[in-house]
Amino acid sequence: MDEKKILEACFSLAEELMWEKDTSPLERLPKHLEELSEMTDNFVEIVKRNSYQVDGLPDAQEILVGAVQYLTSIAIPPCGETMNGLIIRLQCF
């Protein structure tokens, strides 16, 4: 599994969940870098823990990345600490 693609997808999900849309990403990055890193790591861990569900399929990695990208597309920011529903969805993909 190419962890770089999984990490990128999880980072995008965490980034989408964290911030309001009215400020630029560069303005808010220093303030939230630690939280963003922690959320990304948590999402990567969830993906790894659930990857057994697609092991052996020819496009397993694409399925995992696609699932995270789907969640990113339906994410309603900012969620911060109140993102339990999204974590449950990610664990159930």
Domain count, the chain: 1
Q: pLDDT, tens digit, for every residue of 12-45? A: 888 777 765 555 566 666 767 788 888 889 999 9
State the pLDDT at residue 83: 46
Parent domain of 64: 3-92
What sign results for the dihedral spanned by CA atoms 75, 50, 56, 10? positive
pTM higher than 0.85: no
| Mean pLDDT of all residues belonging to the chain | 76
Burial string for 48-80 (b: 16+ CB within 10 Å, else e) reads eeeeeebeeeeeebeebbebbeebbeebeebbe
State the pLDDT at residue 21: 53
